[in-house]
Amino acid sequence: MSYLDVEGEYVRGKVLPDFQWASFAEPTEATPLKKPINECSIALVVTAGAYLAESQTRFDTRNPLGDDSYRIIPSNTPSEQISLSHPGYDTRRALNDLDTVFPFQLLGRMQENGTIGAVAPRHFSFMGYIPRTERLLWNNAPQVARMLRDDGVDLAILVPS
């Protein structure tokens, strides 16, 4: 039995009897970069449950249906202002090395040494546990995609937690 089968059985048994993994008949079409990576503006889209503790609400980790909202994290945010709320992993340990789930500091170093062109002005954080994906897929993800496009992002790196 695969990990996905085990997780699916857990969600069906504890939360949603009719739970099924979201899937698509065709994979997303690949879009090649139009310029070298050292000229690209790069943003992160993470499922770490990252949020700004002083100005944003935590993700709702107690809702059995998850929390399909997102938080915008400006790229110049000091790491000590970022908190994590997620039911699927030990956020206290991840905060000791935030780059393990939200590698924005690493991205900054890559910009400094010329590996990438620029860090985008903002990154986007979701919570990874969302068994009902309809609103995420049809509302929130397209909103984030539009903001990434508006920011001139060439490449969004998806970081699962």
Contact criterion met (CB below 8 Å) for 129 and 101: no
* Domain contains 16: no
pLDDT at 108: 96
* Domain contains 1: no
How many domains would you assign to the chain? 1
State both tokens at 95.
């905060």
Stated pTM of the model: 0.90
Sign of CA dihedral 107, 128, 1, 24: negative
* Domain contains 4: no
State both tokens at 51.
């949020």
Low-confidence ranges of the chain (pLDDT < 70): 3-4
* Domain contains 71: yes
Give the domain extent around 94: 33-159
pLDDT at 4: 63
* Domain contains 96: yes
Catalogue the E-assigned strands of 8-100: 41-46, 50-52, 70-74, 82-84
Query: What does the alpha-carbon distance between residue 108 and residue 105 come to, in Å, rounded to a whole number?
Result: 5
* Domain contains 6: no
Q: What is the pLDDT of residues 95-125, one digit of tens each?
A: 999 999 999 999 999 999 999 999 999 999 9
pLDDT at 3: 62
Reduced to 3 states, what is the DSSP secondary structure of residue 83?
Answer: strand
* Domain contains 88: yes
* Domain contains 136: yes
